[in-house]
Amino acid sequence: MICPEPSELQELVRDWHQQALPWLAAGSCSRLQWGAPVLPGSGESEPRVLSTRKLNQLVEHCAGDFTVTVQAGMPLQTLQEELRAAGQWLAIDWPWGSGPNGEASGTVGGLVARGLAGGLRQRYMGVRDQLIGLSLLRADGTAAKAGGKVVKNVAGYDLMRLFCGSWGSLGLITQLTLRTYPLPRHRRGLLVQGPLENLEQLRRRCLQAPLMPQRLDWWSAALAGHGQPALLLALASVSSAAITDQLSQHCEAAAALGLEVQGLDADVLLELESQSRQGSGAWLLQLGVKPASAAALLADPALNGVACCLAAGPGLGVAWAEAATLPSYRVEQLRQRCRALGGQLSVLLQPASANPPLPCWEASPASAVIEALKREFDPLQQLARGRLPGVVQTTVSR
């Protein structure tokens, strides 16, 4: 792994381009192995990794404009601490596998390169919607910029969002400008457990309530415990009274549906949120379905014994399980089920014993366009060789 100084970066990338060397862009390498494996160059046993660890400065926080500009290798945890001191935050969950206070949550560049957000997306939208500007190095070392530093930008070709979710396959992200939000003054929630069809009725009600939930997450029975699924609801507002009012209405509705309700203060809410992104398991799956079909997915026998947390609004989430709990054929069934419910499933991690091994993702209907873009940005196929989201790989990740 190479961690160049910012001043050395461009020359290094140009040099590798002249030699046509394959390499992989990385942040802190916390989740580099997720997804399809990256092929090393000829004569190399491991892919050459370029980490942005030394590109870790906060460039500018315009608190009045609610924007922040950072270098790509800035740890997400450090950024949130800096913003908190100014009463603001990036309205994004800690990624799966992070500690309770965002330990090992990776870098801001890695976050944007993967382009995924958790249940907070319900209220604040996804990473790509919070991205305002981006600087990058192309495979040949050419520096480029997209977007800007203000929330309203001139319309044009949207290079920024192309890089959001590109998994390091199109170029190296060097700097980002993101939208910030004021820290919510009051925060409380509910954990509601019971039969799936009754929870589904409550889900619809919560999403139509005047106070938009900050999160409304489905928990599978294996994650919630006691043999039944649950909904985790979080509300945030400047007004504590508004939260009290909404929560009491939701509690009444839940009671009428015969559901079991646990009130959560801010600290317990944080603990449960932390629980929903931590677990062990040789399988880690990223899955999504049409929001209205999430309950149908949770009811599917293929999810039996599998911990799964799905944001109820967008219908996206993760599932994890030990190898012994989940044979490959059931993951394949789950994939088919997700497809039938209008979504998809990506295999981020799988056990060495998986038989047959599964491809990380299926071919996207846009795979021809994705491959054409790849050729445009990276004609020598240097970047993340063998790993292109939406294009099926022949090898698999273990």
Between 26 and 370, name the residue whose CB sits nearer to ligand FAD. 26
Using CB under 6 A as the binding rule, whether residue 390 contacts ligand FAD is answered as: no
- Of the residues 318, 321, 345, 354, which one makes contact with ligand FAD according to CB under 6 A: 318
- Residue 227 Cβ vs ligand FAD, minimum distance, rounded to whole Å: 26
- Residue 68 Cβ vs ligand FAD, minimum distance, rounded to whole Å: 16
Using CB under 6 A as the binding rule, whether residue 32 contacts ligand FAD is answered as: yes
Q: Mark residues 357-386: x for contact with ligand FAD by CB under 6 A, - for none.
A: ---------------------------x--
Q: Give dist(CA 379, CA 116) in Å, integer.
A: 27
Question: Three-class SS string for the chain?
Answer: CECCCHHHHHHHHHHHHHCCCCEEEECCCCCCCCCCCCCCCCCCCCCCEEECCCCCCEEEEEHHHCEEEEECCCEHHHHHHHHHHCCEECCCCCCCCCCCCCCCCCEHHHHHHHCCCCCCHHHHCCHHHHEEEEEEECCCCCEEEEECCCCCCCCCCCHHHHHCCCCCCCCEEEEEEEECEECCCEEEEEEEECCHHHHHHHHHHHHHCCCCCCEEEEECHHHHCCCCCEEEEEEEECCHHHHHHHHHHHHHHHHHCCCEEEEECHHHHHHHHHHCCCCCCCEEEEEECCHHHHHHHHCCHHHCCCEEEEECCCCEEEEEECCCCCCHHHHHHHHHHHHHCCCEEEEEECCCCCCCCCCCCCCCCCHHHHHHHHHHHCCCCCECCCCCCCCCCCCCCC
Q: At what angle do helices 196-208 and 240-256 cross, to 10 degrees?
A: 150
- Of the residues 102, 106, 279, 389, which one makes contact with ligand FAD according to CB under 6 A: 106
- Of the residues 22, 47, 102, 109, which one makes contact with ligand FAD according to CB under 6 A: 109
- Residue 249 Cβ vs ligand FAD, minimum distance, rounded to whole Å: 28
Using CB under 6 A as the binding rule, whether residue 117 contacts ligand FAD is answered as: yes
- Of the residues 110, 279, 291, 313, which one makes contact with ligand FAD according to CB under 6 A: 110
- How many CB atoms are located within 10 Å of the residue 256 CB? 11
Between 136 and 254, name the residue whose CB sits nearer to ligand FAD. 136
Say which residue the tokens 């007004």 belong to: 239
Using CB under 6 A as the binding rule, whether residue 222 contacts ligand FAD is answered as: no
- Of the residues 16, 23, 34, 124, which one makes contact with ligand FAD according to CB under 6 A: 34
Using CB under 6 A as the binding rule, whether residue 83 contacts ligand FAD is answered as: no
- Of the residues 12, 29, 207, 268, which one makes contact with ligand FAD according to CB under 6 A: 29
Phi, psi at 99, each rounded to 5°: -75, 175
Between 146 and 261, name the residue whose CB sits nearer to ligand FAD. 146
Between 77 and 246, name the residue whose CB sits nearer to ligand FAD. 77
Using CB under 6 A as the binding rule, whether residue 348 contacts ligand FAD is answered as: yes
Using CB under 6 A as the binding rule, whether residue 192 contacts ligand FAD is answered as: no
Using CB under 6 A as the binding rule, whether residue 345 contacts ligand FAD is answered as: no
Token pair, residue 118, equals 């958790």
Q: Which range of residues in 5-13, 115-123, 214-222, 300-308 is near ligand FAD by CB under 6 A?
A: 115-123
Between 72 and 79, name the residue whose CB sits nearer to ligand FAD. 72
Residue 303 in contact with residue 220, Cβ under 8 Å?
yes
Q: Mark residues 39-68: x for contact with ligand FAD by CB under 6 A, - for none.
A: -------------x----------------
Between 121 and 250, name the residue whose CB sits nearer to ligand FAD. 121
Say which residue the tokens 């290798």 belong to: 73
Angle at 161 between CA 141 and CA 383, to 5 degrees: 35
- Of the residues 28, 135, 382, 397, which one makes contact with ligand FAD according to CB under 6 A: 28
Between 144 and 253, name the residue whose CB sits nearer to ligand FAD. 144
- Of the residues 79, 173, 230, 306, which one makes contact with ligand FAD according to CB under 6 A: 173
Binding site for ligand FAD (CB under 6 A): 24-32, 34, 52, 72, 92-93, 95-96, 105-107, 109-111, 113-114, 116-118, 167-168, 172-173, 286, 318, 348, 384
